[in-house]
Amino acid sequence: MLLKFTKMHGLGNDFVVVDAVSRKVFFNKQQIERLSDRNWGIGFDQLLVVEPPTQPEMDFRYRIYNSDGSEVEHCGNGARCFAKFVLDRELTNKRIIDVETKRGAIQLRVMNDGLVTVDMGTPSFAPQDLPFTAEEDVSLYSIMAGDAEYWLTPVSVGNPHAVIKVDQLVDDEVATIGRLLECHERFPQHVNVGFMQVISPSEINLRVYERGVGETQACGTGTCAAVVAGIKQGWLGPKVTAHLRGGDLHIEWQGEGSPILMTGPAETVFEGQIYL
């Protein structure tokens, strides 16, 4: 089958986006792994599939696959690219778009300046929602990775995250500890790991080791998780600019019961065709 695709990125977190509204498209794990290979395929962090909605009040359904073929619940950078894609392809003319995801409904707002604000839903700090194995419900948890002890905040923003506050961001630590914690036995469905350096109550530096992918240039859900963890711990205020390797995201969260609002860019790189 000849597959038409669009290559996009949100702050360097890159995606292949496929229109499965105009034409039915199905992928297996091996096809996704081949397409994601940066030497033998197209190369991407995630594959985004745009489908018709299954619920009448929704505009689209949105499916997300990691480069290893696993399907995941949510992707903030991908959601912004999704919004730009459906507008550019004239699949909709709406600038407020309601979308089904594996984790539930989300709303995307395309601003006049081209930035996209995503209502990421309400976060949960309950260990069972990640899931995370915990003997008690506290705000910070101690966990061993290698020979060192780390203190982390587990938080679900539709997918599971563990946020660690660090004094400095160190390449080896992000790669090594991120890999160890991703597959730690206390996270039975694996986890995304964020390393957050607090600059001020309204500014952080962040790097994220993503489950099933490795470190990416930016992670939307990881940024949301880091900010809400920082607010819960009293380190951050309700509006935060996060500096990632690929650029900046702006996060707003007013506290328990409120949705997380994430604003950032989405860019089209090129369009192409490839045989599956």
Q: Are residues 106 and 223 both part of a single domain? A: no
Q: What is the mean pLDDT of the chain?
A: 95
CATH of the domain at 97: 3.10.310.10
**Tokens (6 digits) for 155:** 């938080």
**Tokens (6 digits) for 117:** 């604000």
- Host domain of residue 90: 2-121+265-275
| Tens digit of each residue's pLDDT, the chain (276 residues) | 899 999 999 999 999 999 999 999 999 999 999 999 999 999 999 999 999 999 999 999 999 999 999 999 889 999 999 999 999 999 999 999 999 998 889 999 999 898 999 999 999 999 999 999 998 888 899 999 988 999 999 999 989 999 999 999 999 899 999 999 999 999 999 999 999 999 999 999 999 999 988 999 999 999 999 999 999 999 999 999 999 999 999 999 999 999 999 999 999 999 999 998
Closest CA relative to residue 35, chosen from 244, 270, 245, 273: 273
Q: Are residues 112 and 229 both part of a single domain? A: no
Task: Kindly list the distances between the CA atom of residue 74 and the CA atoms of 2, 64, 87, 200, 204, in Å, as whole numbers in the listed order.
Answer: 27, 7, 20, 28, 22
- Domain count for the chain, please give it: 2
75 is catalytic: yes
Instruction: Detail the residues annotated as belonging to a binding site for substrate.
Output: 13, 46, 66, 76-77, 159, 192, 210-211, 220-221
- Residues with Cβ within 8 Å of 18's Cβ and at least 6 positions away in sequence, in order, are 3, 4, 5, 6, 25, 47, 48, 49, 50
Find the catalytic residue in 81, 183, 219, 224: 219
The pTM for the full model equals 0.91
Q: Do 14 and 44 form a contact (C-beta atoms < 8 A)?
A: yes
219 is catalytic: yes
Task: Provide the percentage of residues in the chain whose pLDDT is more than 70.
Answer: 100
In this predicted model, what pLDDT tens digit does every residue of 190-217 receive, in sequence order?
999 999 999 999 999 999 999 988 999 9
Q: What letter would DSSP give residue 127?
A: G
